[in-house]
A and B are shown apart, each in its own frame.
Chain A
């Protein structure tokens, strides 16, 4: 049993939790963040990478629109290395009603979201692949953001202010006494060790899982409806701006260029369990059709990976529970002292990745108020580590870096231009990390070959450098391929099918992966 204590324990290592831990640490509280998995492995890592301009909500949710516009500018500045300022377009396709675009423009003015109508010629100049039948086009300040990098940036900033970040620590019990939260009990999933954290205050930022956490503190019926959305990454950037359909928010109406791929999203269907999200065939087909409407030929382009995320939407009695898109996207803070008579516990849910910082600010303000200890929020004023220069990410970065070091360093992942040095340094930082943990930071195996060539190289390097033993090497490789497969099979057709066949031949015929020696002991991954 390991015993720790902190002023504030933050539960959940997604964008919201990372924002909260950074905020409390910057306000001078001692803080510990716990997550049952890696940082940004849940909803934050399973979205389409859009940094909203606010344009999407100018008609449906004006308050969110204004918040997005303001936070967009802040996130672009404080997370410069995670944000690419791609710019965005809203286009009225031949299938859409022009009437909405008038409401869109009016809404943008009312909500102070910067929107500029551009000529069709200018739209095609910016994005030559756009549907030639578009009727109207507007330029907005959408960007794309790497959710993993953003969350790690916030977490590293928090660490610099003294916070501890405990990943793979699953909360199993919350102690309450005298009507207040006293301690959070976790299990370290990598070692099996019990960890007890004495807590002055607990902020529940567990997203789609926050109802379960609240229930552990005897706060029942916090109903968070997981809204499942699927996304598909295409092999290369068919567009270099975010392209939105100028319609009332609907399925499949955004294509986001992020890193080397572009992502179409998304659907929105009520799910029962955020841990088991399916990627239904009809939704995949719908996404490809929707993509084709914005960018003709989209359907024939190469899809490399699909995934599903669970939006944490707080249930609102005003709308039917099966229509999650029109539930409140706005953030909501549940005060469990008032609601359940449990002091020292706040639950923060809802919201969007773009507004993660603002959500954190709100909930920490409320905590300070309850503690009678007002301290100002500073998270908008200071850039996170590695973003101090203010230079935003560009898709050309890695190509430019390899231009200088390609003769001195081996490229392990050719699709994403990840070098041996980058991989070994990440392993040094996270010696117990799985290859998926490293993937989220390095993009290992996220390109067209989906790990076919790079995963065995990475395994070999990790073994050779002594970071792992042979049993762990086998299990890590198998797990990585298994996880890649989850996102591969729903989109297997065309070129990706050919790639997968080649990869399978290599793994089976040269590595005999199905018959590698069984591990002699249990390997905790």
Chain B
């Protein structure tokens, strides 16, 4: 157990709470279930009653989406307080399931070589029922579709690039999902960056530890995130790092520090150099440096900004970026959360809640465009695909297409 959760520097922010209850009016989980007492209750209120023994296990119904922290006008770090209380609660009895679902690299590495088999297995109802009973992952929960190849395999095996890279080098951080499941998104991201004149470096890299963090496993998550920082830095010290994995980017930018208290110069360095790909492209546009020879895409596309992207404090760069594409209309979902919140909606006791949280979003997506929606993070895309049947992709797919690359 990381001492930080006990030390609880974040705890000091509970002094800012004036009981206004704005967080509870915004909490997507509280709106659909009474099992969760709400962010104000389990955050600044309950924290005053905590010392040692964990007595309020209903806090585990917090999905960790962070909308409370985002909406608090007084600066209480509500979601962070809750994440720390959860880590203390789970210190002694971490369910096997929470250890399994948080090992994204292990799951991906195991599933990739046997992708068709794995995908088939995940579709077999009786098998999923057994998984639900033993491991606690809901039988209907959205699961990633394993790819036949990894991103790394594609990157290393493709023909050597001969076109010039006048803009210099960038480091690409693919994340576990971008390596194993959402491989196309990683490929398209690299192709877009190369298309506009960058050399893309992909050092060997592991997991950022986000899933362990959100499941209260701070020790392993801290080790993972610092190892990743070293790996990303190994490609070049001062290079900008780009990622199309929205939530993992948030882990490096602020969550590892704010939730787990990781106070390490390597993390600070990487955290300030990393950019979400849409954020990066929009910065180029703002500086007049983005090639904007986009082909016309005549479509109305619903866009859902994931909670973990909103908490990065960069606004919603996807919307102005995609609207540079002639003919394209982007409709923001207006939903606080899709419900999945990382691994929350996979768990059998939370599956129904996550579906209820996502319902208004699912309805909005279907009503806006039954063919395509865009969203920045992987698990949210899986959740929306599962909840709507609509194809949901990373926004970079549209940029890729508009550049004529697909």
Q: Which residue of A is nearest B6, CB measured?
A: A128
How many angstroms from the CA of A448 to the CA of B74 in the assembled complex? Answer: 14
Could you tell me which residues of chain A, from 467 to 525, have a CB within 8 Å of some CB in chain B?
Answer: 495, 498-499, 502
A399 with B50: CB separation less than 8 A: yes
How many angstroms from the CA of A260 to the CA of B15 in the assembled complex? Answer: 12
Binary CB contact string for chain B from 16 to 34 against chain A (1 if under 8 A, 0 otherwise): 1111100000000000001
How many angstroms from the CA of A444 to the CA of B256 in the assembled complex? Answer: 38
Majority SS of interface residues in chain B?
A: helix
Q: Which residue of B is nearest A453, CB measured?
A: B19
How many angstroms from the CA of A44 to the CA of B121 in the assembled complex? Answer: 69
Could you tell me which residues of chain B, from 6 to 20, have a CB within 8 Å of some CB in chain A?
Answer: 6-7, 11-12, 14-20
User: Contact partner of B74 among A398, A400, A498, CB < 8 A?
Assistant: A498
How many angstroms from the CA of A383 to the CA of B249 in the assembled complex? Answer: 58
B142 to chain A, nearest CB (A): 29
How many angstroms from the CA of A396 to the CA of B85 in the assembled complex? Answer: 13
List the one stretch of A51-59, A233-241, A311-319 in contact with chain B.
A233-241
How many angstroms from the CA of A323 to the CA of B140 in the assembled complex? Answer: 75
Could you tell me which residues of chain A, from 181 to 232, have a CB within 8 Å of some CB in chain B?
Answer: none
Q: With a CB–CB cut-off of 8 A, which chain A residues contact B53?
A: 394, 396
Given the contacts A260-B48, A394-B53, A407-B34, A236 and B11 also touching, CB distance less than 8 Å: yes
Q: With a CB–CB cut-off of 8 A, which chain A residues contact B47?
A: 236
Could you tell me which residues of chain A, from 266 to 311, have a CB within 8 Å of some CB in chain B?
Answer: 297, 301-302
A395 with B49: CB separation less than 8 A: yes
B51 with A399: CB separation less than 8 A: no
Q: Which residue of A is nearest B75, CB measured?
A: A495
Q: With a CB–CB cut-off of 8 A, which chain A residues contact B57?
A: 403
Could you tell me which residues of chain B, from 46 to 84, have a CB within 8 Å of some CB in chain A?
Answer: 46-53, 55-58, 74
B45 with A415: CB separation less than 8 A: yes
Let me know if B280 is at the binding interface, CB within 8 A: no
Number of interface residues of A (CB under 8 A): 32
B12 with A237: CB separation less than 8 A: no
Let me know if A447 is at the binding interface, CB within 8 A: yes
Q: With a CB–CB cut-off of 8 A, which chain B residues contact A261?
A: 48
B49 with A449: CB separation less than 8 A: no
B14 with A236: CB separation less than 8 A: yes
How many angstroms from the CA of A449 to the CA of B15 in the assembled complex? Answer: 11
A236 with B18: CB separation less than 8 A: no
A128 with B15: CB separation less than 8 A: no
B51 with A237: CB separation less than 8 A: yes
A86 to chain B, nearest CB (A): 9
A295 to chain B, nearest CB (A): 11
Q: With a CB–CB cut-off of 8 A, which chain B residues contact A502?
A: 18, 20
A396 with B19: CB separation less than 8 A: no
Q: With a CB–CB cut-off of 8 A, which chain A residues contact B48?
A: 235-237, 260-261, 415, 447
Let me know if A417 is at the binding interface, CB within 8 A: yes
A260 with B6: CB separation less than 8 A: no
B12 with A448: CB separation less than 8 A: no
A260 with B49: CB separation less than 8 A: yes
How many angstroms from the CA of A424 to the CA of B20 in the assembled complex? Answer: 25
Given the contacts A302-B15, A406-B37, A498-B74, A399 and B49 also touching, CB distance less than 8 Å: yes
How many angstroms from the CA of A233 to the CA of B184 in the assembled complex? Answer: 58
User: Contact partner of B51 among A396, A407, A415, A495, CB < 8 A?
Assistant: A396
Let me know if A265 is at the binding interface, CB within 8 A: no
Let me know if A452 is at the binding interface, CB within 8 A: yes
Q: With a CB–CB cut-off of 8 A, which chain A residues contact B55?
A: 396, 399-400, 403
Q: Which residue of A is nearest B74, CB measured?
A: A498
Q: With a CB–CB cut-off of 8 A, which chain B residues contact A365?
A: none
How many angstroms from the CA of A482 to the CA of B227 in the assembled complex? Answer: 58
Let me know if B41 is at the binding interface, CB within 8 A: yes
Q: List 10 A-B contacts (CB under 8 A).
A: A235-B15, A236-B47, A236-B48, A260-B49, A395-B51, A403-B56, A414-B45, A415-B19, A448-B19, A449-B19
- Contacts A236-B15, A236-B47 given; 13 further ones with Cβ under 8 A? A236-B11, A237-B48, A260-B48, A301-B12, A394-B51, A396-B50, A396-B51, A396-B55, A399-B49, A403-B57, A406-B37, A414-B19, A448-B17
B residues with a Cβ closer than 8 A to A are 3, 6-7, 11-12, 14-20, 34, 37, 40-41, 45-53, 55-58, 74
- Which 8 pairs from chain A and chain B are nearest by CB? A400-B55, A302-B15, A399-B49, A260-B48, A128-B7, A396-B55, A236-B48, A499-B18
